[in-house]
Amino acid sequence: AQTVTQSQPEMSVQEAETVTLSCTYDTSESDYYLFWYKQPPSRQMILVIRQEAYKQQNATENRFSVNFQKAAKSFSLKISDSQLGDAAMYFCAYIEYGGSQGNLIFGKGTKLSVKP
């Protein structure tokens, strides 16, 4: 069965600096999608970034970028120029291409604190 592991329960970063959140996953599939979601204290889950496994190029969204290492099954999120509003829980998620639409698998999350 596929699993998603976020090994860092908590991380801290100084405002304006860069932080990287780790995510590894286990799958025997070759086609799949990976996501990072952000959940601020307000609890709404917000999509940050999406990566398609068949694309070599790392996805980017403004200050957010990923380092996708398919062979290593690693999908880390880099936040540049961290802002106070980036403080939140971050969840990594996986879904198999063509799989059941319900089968989005989440990691347990990393709590990011941003220090002014």
Alpha-carbon distance of 12 to 87, in angstroms, equals 9
Total residues contacting another protein by CB under 8 A comes to: 26
Q: Quick check: 102 binds another protein (CB under 8 A)?
A: yes
Q: How near is the Cβ of 47 to another protein at its closest, in Å?
A: 5
Paired tokens of 18: 């860069």
Interface with another protein, residue 11, by CB under 8 A: no
| CA separation for the pair 71, 88 (Å, rounded) | 29
Partner residues linked to 11 by β-bridges: 112
Nearer to another protein, 16 or 46 (CB): 46
Asked if residue 111 lies in contact with residue 11, where contact means CB atoms within 8 angstroms, the answer is yes
Question: Under the rule (CB under 8 A), what is the footprint of another protein?
Answer: 32-33, 35, 37, 42-47, 50, 52, 91, 95-102, 104, 106-109
